[in-house]
Structure 1
Amino acid sequence: MKTIGALLLGLILTLSSPRGRCRGVPQAQHPADVLLPCEYVLLEPGAAGLSFTRQKVTLVLRNLTVAEEEQPETEYQTPEDTEAPIFEATVNLPPLPFAERLLHVECDGEEIVCEITPLYSQFFIAHIRLPEINIALVTKAEPAVDPDKPLDEKSIIRLSGDLLVSSGPPSQRASISTEAKLTCEVWGNVEGVDMEWHLQKDGKGKRINPEEDSGVSVEKNAQEGKEDLSLTIYPLTVHYEGTYICAVSLGPHRLQQILQLQIKEPPQVTLSLVEDPVPTLICRTDHYYPLDVEVEWQLNGAPLTDATPVVSSHRRNSDGTYSLTNQLQVSMPLSGASPDKYNCVVSHVSNEEPIQVEITVSPPEPALLFQIVCFASSLILLAVMLKAIYMFARTVPHGVEKEKKLS
């Protein structure tokens, strides 16, 4: 009974909390009006060149389909007196999977960036950025608005939106030999839509052609009111790192979505001891990317600040990763002393914490030392005996000849 009571109390507290009131359990789809704080951005020429002017506005997305437990009371009433320009866009699109996030952006505390810019003629484009997703909505103004002038504070611009492009994530990191998916989707009347993927890297750009590159594929999955143009890359190599552009063309509209793909490959670290000709520790740092890597040495937990290791240059592997070798000469502990513990500490951008590999350098074992002493003593004794025999062999024949002459 106590457990049931605790569960009921937790449910009541959840429903009565601000977050609980903001979002219910999705059960049905309903139309809703979504308000977003935005900026109206104009490009203006000046004496020092081109500059941007920004004006605070409100974007209202009318008739956006959301999934809620019950129909939300979110019908927007246009105020008679406004303090900032208002863009009212009636959205004629199929249900969007991120519509609820736009509706609850204030309650969930998500960071949102919204900018509206004139496209051409009567068309405007709204760029909306949420964590992990970019949205570009094309709208048409009725009546036309002068795109070269700032808006009057009392302005109410009524728009219709029937084309939207979403992509994400804006930036992602991946490891070599894994799969990366760059999402790009078009919503609305997608008949006749055309798209291209481009890769910008090292100041150069190229169009991606899946027919020529077996490592990439484009889905081109068309549904009613939606077309999926996502790009999949497998297996990943460092050659696929760069800035990807999803370029969408539909009628007079030309839209681009930019996505960043970074390759982060953590290093593989090994540590070994070579005793001949002098005791040397060898720390190998293999198959890391990008190039930036730092290798440090520690002795018994303390940094070896006065160490002078021999460091190789960065070697490029066939898969585009790098390798590095770091060698450190050490002294063997004296017999009977405590072992020394050395750490090779490798820092790389792919790992939040450095990689540490430890090795123990122990003094010579007493049994081995005893064997070495015995062996050396045996050699000395054998040499003495051989010399005595040699001397005896030389003196005996000489004495016998002397006795024969006397007789």
Structure 2
Amino acid sequence: MKKNGYLLLGLILTLNSSSVWGAAVPQLQRAVDVVLPCEYVLLQTGHGGLGFMRQKVTLILRNITMSTEQQMDPLPDYQLPEEPEMTIFEATVNLAPLPFAERLLHVECEGEEVVCEISPLFSQFYAAHIRLPEISIAIVARTESTNDVSDQPLSDNTIVPMTVGLLVSSYPPLQKASVSEEVTLNCEVWGDTEGVNVEWHLQKDGKGQRLNPEDDSHITMTQEEQEGRKDLSLIIRQLLAHDDGTYICAVTSGQHQLQQILQLQIREPPQVTVFLSTDPTPTVTCCTNRYYPLDVEVSWLLNGVPVTHASPITSSHRRNKDGTYNLTSYLEAPMPPTGAPPDIYTCAVSHVSSDDPIEVQVHVLPPETMVSSGILGFIISFIVFIVALKGIYMFAQTMREGEREMKKTK
């Protein structure tokens, strides 16, 4: 009994240890201040018409909550200068933890180029837009001032306190994908998400259209919502070439409207095949199929050198049902003289989907070599045919012998 008691105790301790080690790593939250160089942009009317006034300012995002898995050294709060060298917009951010907060925190430290613009909206509201290579952020903030700021230039070197009421983020701003893949165009709203609406639009070839998932089975809009966050991303399944374009996530909340612009580029590399035909004249044909976008360049090489003895004939672009394109190029290929080595023709296809040209080769043999190859091919085919006949005959013999044995047994 005593031994069994020790075993039971050991089992309990082992299970308890496993549950501790298997538990999720707790997330630590902390508030940080992010300082960004920015530009104040004001639309003005002058004698020459409408124009933009730009002024360098500083944007401080105070109290951004970030989550980490490990304890970090404390960071001092940003101290406002008594006499600022330029106007400072001090925006307090009382939102849920932002997954990109740490990315914003290190932008200035790493010396990266960041696009940041602040513009007045109406009454006491400002809009700020922050763009990095992999993330775009739009913010609506309200000032404590009771004055209408929509058409007023900034006072010199002042501090403008604000509170962020709504933030819209998307990442990445540019995606590249192939036909038949699935992509998610990210668009998330942070803040008071009650009453928030979203519309997705597609801009292409100078035309715009509103996307409606109810009318198109290959697109879906997520509606995941947590406290202080709403995911309004667009999912596109089984991509087609015509899905290429500029997508706009337009978020409306009360009187405010923010939008995120995302680029989706379809990049489908061409499928290249080359073959030789001798009737009526020796010709090499290069088929370039199922590529997108349209721009493609086909060139010919003979033994590694650009072809100069003839000009290729190239067809027009032919469009497939999925929006991809086909193109065919023909080139006369005279046979090399008797006794000469074979000529190597290379079809080189350049396309934006590939960093290097796609090259496919075909060999054009001297006449006697082609005849010999033809005879050899006929002999091999004949041998294969005879072997197959012999196999069928032996199989039939085996079946007949089996039937005789069965009759004898009966």
TM-score range, shorter chain: 0.7 to 0.9
Task: Say yes or no: does 1:259 pair with 2:271.
Answer: no
Q: 1:42 to 1:305 in 2, by over 3 A?
A: farther
Distance 1:371 1:224 in 2: 75
Distance 2:302 2:108 in 1: 53
Task: Say yes or no: does 1:285 pair with 2:292.
Answer: no
Query: Which whole-Å deviations, capped at 9, do the CAs of 1:47-70 have from their partners, x for residues lacking one?
Result: 222111111111111111124532
Q: Which amino acid aligns with 2:260?
A: Q
Residue 74 of structure 1 and its aligned partner are, at CA, apart by: 3.0
In structure 1, the partner of 2:191 is 188
Distance 1:91 1:371 in 2: 79
Residue 369 of structure 1 and its aligned partner are, at CA, apart by: 7.0
Please tell me whether the aligned partners of residues 35 and 108 of structure 2 are also in contact (alpha carbons under 8 angstroms): no
Q: Which amino acid aligns with 1:217?
A: T
Aligned counterpart in structure 1 of residue 141 of structure 2, from 136, 139, 142: 139
Aligned counterpart in structure 1 of residue 239 of structure 2, from 227, 236, 241: 236
Structure number with bigger Rg: 1
Aligned counterpart in structure 1 of residue 306 of structure 2, from 293, 303, 307: 303
Provide the secondary structure at the position in 2 that maps to 1:108: coil
Moved runs in structure 1, 4+ residues, more than 4 A? 366-372
Residue 370 of structure 1 and its aligned partner are, at CA, apart by: 13
Please tell me whether the aligned partners of residues 82 and 153 of structure 1 are also in contact (alpha carbons under 8 angstroms): no
Aligned counterpart in structure 2 of residue 76 of structure 1, from 75, 78, 86: 78
Q: Which amino acid aligns with 2:76?
A: T
Task: Say yes or no: does 1:268 pair with 2:264.
Answer: no
Distance 1:281 1:152 in 2: 73
Query: Which whole-Å deviations, capped at 9, do the CAs of 1:153-183 have from their partners, x for residues lacking one?
Result: 2211000012100012222221111112110
Q: Which amino acid aligns with 2:154?
A: L
In structure 1, the partner of 2:114 is 112
Q: Which amino acid aligns with 1:38?
A: C
Please tell me whether the aligned partners of residues 27 and 70 of structure 1 are also in contact (alpha carbons under 8 angstroms): no
Residue 336 of structure 1 and its aligned partner are, at CA, apart by: 1.2
In structure 1, the partner of 2:58 is 58
In structure 2, the partner of 1:100 is 102
Q: CA RMSD in A?
A: 2.1
Q: Which amino acid aligns with 2:109?
A: C
Query: Which whole-Å deviations, capped at 9, do the CAs of 1:92-121 have from their partners, x for residues lacking one?
Result: 100000000111112334321111000111
Q: Which amino acid aligns with 2:36?
A: L
Distance 1:158 1:205 in 2: 38
Q: 1:231 to 1:120 in 2, by over 3 A?
A: same
Residue 306 of structure 1 and its aligned partner are, at CA, apart by: 4.4
State the TM-score, normalized to the length of structure 1.
0.82
Q: 1:371 to 1:348 in 2, by over 3 A?
A: closer
Distance 1:62 1:216 in 2: 37
Provide the secondary structure at the position in 1 that maps to 2:187: strand
In structure 2, the partner of 1:130 is 132
Provide the secondary structure at the position in 1 that maps to 2:108: helix
Q: Which amino acid aligns with 1:180?
A: V
In structure 1, the partner of 2:223 is 220
Distance 2:111 2:373 in 1: 73
Q: Which amino acid aligns with 2:210?
A: R
Query: Which whole-Å deviations, capped at 9, do the CAs of 1:11-57 have from their partners, x for residues lacking one?
Result: xxxxxxxxxxxxxxx97321111111111100111222211111111
Distance 1:281 1:203 in 2: 40
Q: Which amino acid aligns with 2:360?
A: V
In structure 2, the partner of 1:4 is none
Residue 73 of structure 1 and its aligned partner are, at CA, apart by: 1.9
Residue 221 of structure 1 and its aligned partner are, at CA, apart by: 0.5
Query: Which whole-Å deviations, capped at 9, do the CAs of 1:377-407 have from their partners, x for residues lacking one?
Result: xxxxxxxxxxxxxxxxxxxxxxxxxxxxxxx
Distance 2:73 2:120 in 1: 34
Identity %: 61
Aligned counterpart in structure 2 of residue 341 of structure 1, from 314, 339, 344: 344
Please tell me whether the aligned partners of residues 144 and 161 of structure 2 are also in contact (alpha carbons under 8 angstroms): yes
Residue 149 of structure 1 and its aligned partner are, at CA, apart by: 2.6
The unaligned stretches of length 5 or more in structure 1 are 1-25, 373-407
Q: 1:196 to 1:366 in 2, by over 3 A?
A: closer
Distance 1:238 1:105 in 2: 35
Q: 1:81 to 1:271 in 2, by over 3 A?
A: same
Correspondence list, 1:13-32, <5 A: 28-32=28-32
Residue 290 of structure 1 and its aligned partner are, at CA, apart by: 1.2
Q: 1:369 to 1:247 in 2, by over 3 A?
A: closer
Aligned counterpart in structure 2 of residue 294 of structure 1, from 269, 294, 297: 297
Distance 1:100 1:222 in 2: 23
Residue 137 of structure 1 and its aligned partner are, at CA, apart by: 1.0
